[in-house]
A and B are shown apart, each in its own frame.
Chain A
Amino acid sequence: EVQLVESGGGLVQPGGSLRLSCSASGFIFSNYAMHWVRQAPGKGLEWVSGLSSSGGSTYYINSVKGRFVISRDNSKNTLHLQMSSLRAEDTAVYYCAKDSHPELERPDNCLDPWGQGTLVTVSS
């Protein structure tokens, strides 16, 4: 059974940094692209970033470019999201999700399944 477990969320002040992790099991982690998706309280889903299986290809939404860095450690089956210069509008539950393919630039990339999420609160 595929399992994705996020960790690292918490309360951080504006301008601060936080590193999220997603521990994966139940599948060959190094064979699949991975993603981060967030959901602000009471709001809809917003894709944040994606990373290919090798780590060589990354994509970000414009609002986090230059502030967030997605990475992975295939030897530890772990996905990370390093977040810096955090803003109040980054407050959200952050989910990691497994892709159906190793590369990102496909018309049939599929986000399934998702982890349970970790809450990031940016507030003074």
Chain B
Amino acid sequence: SYELTQPPSVSVSPGQTASITCSGDKLGDKYAWWYQQKPGQSPVLVIYEDIKRPSGIPERFSGSNSGNTATLTISGTQAMDEADYYCQAWDNSIAVFGTGTRVTVL
């Protein structure tokens, strides 16, 4: 079965850039989605189709996808960005989620 691997944690200072990777076989041939989940809340879509931002999502969130790796970048990270982040892709009409990354803003 298809698997997506993320680093368990990423730490970043306020105002700095956080990069979260998502690795999967030929992931660049698929679209990647990214979800943010804060404690006790439901996941929220922050990036879709590799690079697109839903309305209401700040410009500091951006995405890329090439080769075997998709990346979510948070520029000028704020304390409110502290959360778990999950990538997602489709494999034969089955949604596959990444292992998740906890972003800590120190």
Contacts and interface: CB of A to CB of B under 8 A. Distances in A.
B88 A111 contact: yes
Interface string A27-49: 00000000101000000111100
Given A45-B86, A107-B31, A111-B33, A117 B97 contact: no
Interface string A85-116: 00000000001000000001101111111111
Contacts of B48: 110, 112
A113 B45 contact: yes
B93 A104 contact: yes
Given A95-B43, A108-B31, A111-B33, A44 B97 contact: yes
B93 A47 contact: no
Interface residues of A, number: 24
A95 B45 CA distance: 14
Contacts of B73: none
Interface size range of chain B in the complex: 20 to 34
Interface string B24-40: 00000011010101000
Given A110-B45, A112-B48, A116-B42, 20 more contacts: A37-B95, A44-B97, A44-B98, A44-B100, A45-B35, A45-B37, A45-B88, A45-B97, A46-B97, A47-B95, A47-B97, A59-B93, A59-B94, A95-B43, A108-B49, A110-B49, A112-B45, A112-B54, A113-B44, A117-B42
